[in-house]
């Protein structure tokens, strides 16, 4: 199993901006997984480990884009109808067995709807342009071109392009193996009895789905109690067979937050002291050389920090090209004040008002209100320099469709 040096996640120090944390990830984190070759049908969702370089033109030769008739453009009468004998046929997969000659029409290219056929002759209307309805060899991909770059997560069109180039298998990174656990004496599995003061575990199920959406294989370590010795044992076991450990809860500085001491017993823990809301605290560390991400226990904070910070880090560990999700400018349909110097992510839904898209903030914004994520369309990104939003202010909007699988 690949291991990282102890300084890989050492982002400590003064309060760090989100942009600074992402820059640290890009600069310091390296892929942990090895390449393997898999059949094309098994490559969906995997991350390409090597460039796919075209060994042929696509299409490999000139061909017809429509059904109809092929003629020499020089034989057409510019100002009127042209009548030509039909002397051959070239169908898909069955090319003409000889070169086409001047003065004849071959059944294939000229759109049939624009022609009239009678008694072995075709009448062609004027106005057709030279080269119309003809696909040029290599107009899609040329031989020697990088058709698919390494680091790309393979989607259905990518597999189609690889197949069109004759590839039957691809070199991809193996999936990142992730150990996932929740912490807290108050946390219970759904369906179990719920005593006074207890809550059901939402985080593990959200995070498992998010990790699977990034192509990870997830091993569920369940809920672990707030006891250092027990946490140390499970973290040690998880580090033996996984590339990454993801936890939620127990990374703050409270008396019952024991993840920190358990990690430090086995390795090292560095807090991302981030200027972000919701989301503090987020922690990174290593257990026996295996990276660990410690996310907040509040479910909204857990999902926001996963999307903003853990998601790009996991993608980098898995060998994917680093790419920021796309934000889109919208107008704020509400007023809002915040502390400058901190980036905030507000849950919002979109409404169209005339020609303008307006964002409306979800009315309840606590870090534990999970319905605010379910009933919103995405996150408004209120950057560090902003201290106040007024109605009509343009602001970046991150759609959940960009980051939720």
pLDDT at 281: 77
The pLDDT tens digits of the residues spanning 54-66 come to 999 888 887 766 7
The pLDDT tens digits of the residues spanning 98-152 come to 888 888 877 775 566 767 887 888 877 777 777 667 778 778 899 999 999 999 9
Mean pLDDT (whole number) for 303-307: 95
Which range is least confidently modeled, 4-13, 59-68, 260-269, 299-308?
A: 4-13
Instruction: Give percent of the chain above pLDDT 90.
Output: 55
For residues 332 and 67, the model is more confident at: 332
> What is the secondary structure of 93-140 as a DSSP string?
TB--SS---TT-EEETSEEGGGEEEETTEEEE-S-PPTTTTEEPTTSS
> What is the secondary structure of 163-197 as a DSSP string?
HHTT-SEEEEEPPPEEEEEEE-TTEE-TTS---TT
Reported as a pLDDT band with limits 50, 70 and 90, residue 87 is: confident
- Closest-CA residue to 272 (of 4, 25, 26, 6): 25
For residues 88 and 297, the model is more confident at: 297
Q: Which residues contact 178 (CB under 8 A, 6 or more apart)?
A: 211, 216, 217, 218, 219, 242, 243, 244, 245, 246, 314
Mean pLDDT (whole number) for 8-32: 77
pLDDT at 271: 67
The pLDDT tens digits of the residues spanning 334-367 come to 999 998 999 999 999 999 998 899 999 999 888 8
pLDDT at 3: 46
Helix (H) or strand (E) holding 208: helix 203-213
Which CB contacts under 8 angstroms, 24+ apart, belong to 152-159? Answer: 152/47, 152/48, 152/320, 152/321, 153/45, 153/46, 153/47, 153/48, 153/215, 153/320, 154/43, 154/44, 154/45, 154/46, 154/47, 154/48, 155/44, 156/44, 158/48, 159/40, 159/43, 159/44
Reported as a pLDDT band with limits 50, 70 and 90, residue 195 is: very high
């Amino acid at each position: 199993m690949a291991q990282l040096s102890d300084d890989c996640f050492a982002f400590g120090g003064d309060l760090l901006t989100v942009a600074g944390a992402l820059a640290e990830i890009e600069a310091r984190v390296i892929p942990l997984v090895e390449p393997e070759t898999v059949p094309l049908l098994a490559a969906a969702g995997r991350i390409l480990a090597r460039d796919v370089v075209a060994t042929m033109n696509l299409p490999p030769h000139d061909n017809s884009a429509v059904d109809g008739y092929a003629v020499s453009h020089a034989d057409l009468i510019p100002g009127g109808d042209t009548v030509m004998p039909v002397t051959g046929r070239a169908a898909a997969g069955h090319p003409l067995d000889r070169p086409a000659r001047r003065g004849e029409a071959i059944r294939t290219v000229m759109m049939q709807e624009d022609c009239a056929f009678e008694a072995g002759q075709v009448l062609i209307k004027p106005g057709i342009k030279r080269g119309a309805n003809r696909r040029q060899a290599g107009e899609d991909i040329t031989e020697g071109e990088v058709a698919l770059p390494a680091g790309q997560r393979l989607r259905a069109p990518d597999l189609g392009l690889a197949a069109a180039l004759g590839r039957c298998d691809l070199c991809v990174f193996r999936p990142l193996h992730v150990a996932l656990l929740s912490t807290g004496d108050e946390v219970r599995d759904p369906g179990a009895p719920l005593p006074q003061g207890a809550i059901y575990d939402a985080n593990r199920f959200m995070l498992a789905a998010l990790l699977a959406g990034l192509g990870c294989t997830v091993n569920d370590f369940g809920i672990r109690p707030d006891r250092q010795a027990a946490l140390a044992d499970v973290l040690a076991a998880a580090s033996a067979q996984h590339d990454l450990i993801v936890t939620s809860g127990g990374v703050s500085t409270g008396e019952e937050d024991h993840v920190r001491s358990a990690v430090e017993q086995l390795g090292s823990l560095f807090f991302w002291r981030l200027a972000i809301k919701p989301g503090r605290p987020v922690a990174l560390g290593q257990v026996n050389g295996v990276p660990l991400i410690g996310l907040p226990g509040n479910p909204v904070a857990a999902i926001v920090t996963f999307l903003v910070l853990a998601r790009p880090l996991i993608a980098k560990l898995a060998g994917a090209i680093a790419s920021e999700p796309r934000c889109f400018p919208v107008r704020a349909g509400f007023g809002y004040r915040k502390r400058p110097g901190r980036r905030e992510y507000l849950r919002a839904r979109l409404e169209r008002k005339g020609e303008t898209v307006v964002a409306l903030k979800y009315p309840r914004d606590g870090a534990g209100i999970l319905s605010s994520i379910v009933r919103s369309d995405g996150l408004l990104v209120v950057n560090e320099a902003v201290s106040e939003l007024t109605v009509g202010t343009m602001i970046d909007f991150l759609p959940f469709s960009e980051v939720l699988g």
